[in-house]
Amino acid sequence: MGRLTEDFTAEPDRIREAQFISDIREAIEGERLLVVVGAGVSKSGTNEAASHWDGLLNLGLDKIPDNNKKQALSQLLQLKDTKSAIHVAEVIEDTLGGRSDFVFRCWLRDTVGRLRAIKRDVLEAIRDLDVPIATTNYDGLLEDVLNRVPITFNDTEESLGFVRGENTHNMILHMHGYHEKPHSVVFGTRSYSDLLNTGYAEAILRALAIRYTWLLVGFGKGLQDPHFDEFTLWMERTLGNRIPWHYQLLKSGETFETRGRIRPICYGKTHDEFSSFFAKTHWQSSNAASLSLDRWDNAPVGVMDGPQISSGRRCFKTTRDRSPFWAGTALGSRLFRRLQFSGCRRSLQRTPPLR
């Protein structure tokens, strides 16, 4: 059976957005926020083909000498299926001699390694948060703007220190490897298998999920990655509600797939609104309180016009008697005195499983 996914409505849910922002603000103040950066951030900063997964794979196809084979692989990519894309990546990796080969190293250098930030607003907004940062990207755009050092799971001492909160403001953890360290790059089927079967990498991720509140930025279908599938499944089955919620920034209208302990935040209707939403001042206490309350002074009781959360088993209801989003916070008490609403509108579609 496929997962249940949820379609966003045209406008973000400002009430839940207010609580999410309050949670993020508290995590920043408590030094418990980890920003996890996906390919969308690199794409917005460069708009080069090598900045995102599909574009990098198409560049890799150019290195395959057999035209018939290249055409067949290109057709696989058109399926927009994660497993098919990883299979294509495996063929490209083999064609280039594997992760330990000089040819593969040179290809990474000439594609991902040549990326430079042209539009820096999002990267600078991330920098200004001054929090620990991890990424699934291979490139060094974050390092260029933030002046931090890249580390991978292969850097055992540094990654352990990252989990312990040591020197985190001087490092960026590359969860899927870094282009200057080709053997660390998670690209094709075998490298994904190695990552999933490596107890150390999983232990680091699990420790980070317990220690930090994650804010996922620049992820779309990147969360369909098999590594994240296993990880979010572990979070849901093992930890349940014992850890804080993690959040994913999405554009209004994008589809959010409910998984693990991750909830969506709408940052606006267009990508141009991303950096302003993500700017550090947006998370400061006074601004968060203003956003939470002032924007809803004249809101009619019972109105809820944004994306609703459903796990497929139950629809969370916000009532006086049951308040999973606000319980235990001063902001929640003030909001409940202003608004009462219950019920939940769901717009769900069933998606077929990957084969």
pLDDT of residue 134: 96
Structure tokens belonging to residue 233: 């499944």
pLDDT at 108: 95
Give the pLDDT score at 236: 79
pLDDT at residue 230, as a whole number: 76
Residue 56 lies in a domain: yes
Token pair, residue 39, equals 């390919």
291/339 same-domain check? yes
Q: CA 227, CA 224: separation in Å to the nearest integer?
A: 8
* Type of residue numbered 117: A
Based on the domain organization, do 85 and 17 belong to the same domain?
no
Work out the average pLDDT over 124-137: 92
Cβ atoms of 78 and 6 within 8 Å: the answer is: no
Same domain, 259 and 344: yes
| Whether residues 295 and 265 fall in one domain | yes
The overall average pLDDT reported for the chain is 75
pLDDT surpasses 80 at 354: no
Q: Beta-carbon neighbour count of residue 234 at 10 Å?
A: 15
Residue range 305-347, pLDDT digits in tens: 333 333 333 333 333 333 333 344 444 444 443 333 333 333 3
98 and 6, same domain (yes or no): no
What domain range includes position 295?
1-29+250-355
- Look at 81 and 116; give whichever has higher pLDDT: 116
For residue 284, the model assigns a pLDDT of 53
Asked if residue 285 has pLDDT above 60, the reply is no
Which tokens is 169 given? 């403001």
Co-location of 67 and 20 in the same domain: no
Does one domain contain both 18 and 107? no
Q: What would the mean pLDDT of 228-248 be, rounded to a whole number?
A: 80
Does one domain contain both 258 and 308? yes
Most confidently predicted of 21-25, 136-140, 293-297, 347-351:
136-140
Residue 351 lies in a domain: yes
Domain count along the chain = 2
**Alpha-carbon distances, residue 192 vs 53, 64, 218, 230 (angstroms):** 14, 21, 21, 11
Q: Is 17 a domain residue? A: yes
259 and 314 together in one domain: yes
pLDDT tens column, 171-187: 999 999 999 999 899 99
Give the pLDDT mean for 227-249: 80
My answer on whether 23 and 54 are in the same domain is: no
pLDDT digits (tens, 9 = 90+) for 149-170: 999 999 999 999 999 999 899 9
In a domain, 108, yes or no: yes
**Domain ends where: 80, 96, 114?**
114
Q: Which of 45-54, 290-299, 336-345 holds the top average pLDDT?
A: 45-54
Asked if residue 32 has pLDDT above 70, the reply is yes
Is 59 within a domain? yes
- End of a domain among 96, 114, 132? 114
Report the C-alpha gap between 112 and 261 in whole angstroms.
31
| Predicted pLDDT at 342 | 32
Cα(first)–Cα(last) distance of the chain, in Å?
Answer: 12
**Better-predicted residue by pLDDT, 78 or 157:** 157
Lowest mean pLDDT among 1-10, 73-82, 153-162, 278-287: 1-10
User: Is residue 286 located within the same domain as residue 351?
Assistant: yes
Question: What's the pLDDT score for residue 225?
Answer: 74
Across 62-91, average pLDDT: 89
Last residue of a domain, one of 82, 114, 146: 114
Would you say residue 66 lies in a domain? yes
pLDDT classification of 263: cutoffs 50, 70, 90: confident
**CA separation for the pair 19, 68 (Å, rounded):** 53
pTM of the model: 0.75
pLDDT at 140 over 70: yes
Res 63: pLDDT: 92
- H or E stretch covering 4: strand 4-7
Given pLDDT bands bounded at 50, 70 and 90, which one contains residue 283?
Answer: low
Does residue 311 lie in a domain region? yes
Question: With 0-12 CB in 10 A as exposed, 13-18 as middle and 19+ as buried, what is 36?
Answer: buried
Tell me: do 260 and 318 sit in the same domain.
yes
Report if residue 210 sits inside a domain: no
| pLDDT tier for residue 282 given thresholds of 50, 70 and 90 | low
Question: Which amino acid appears at position 48 of this protein?
Answer: E
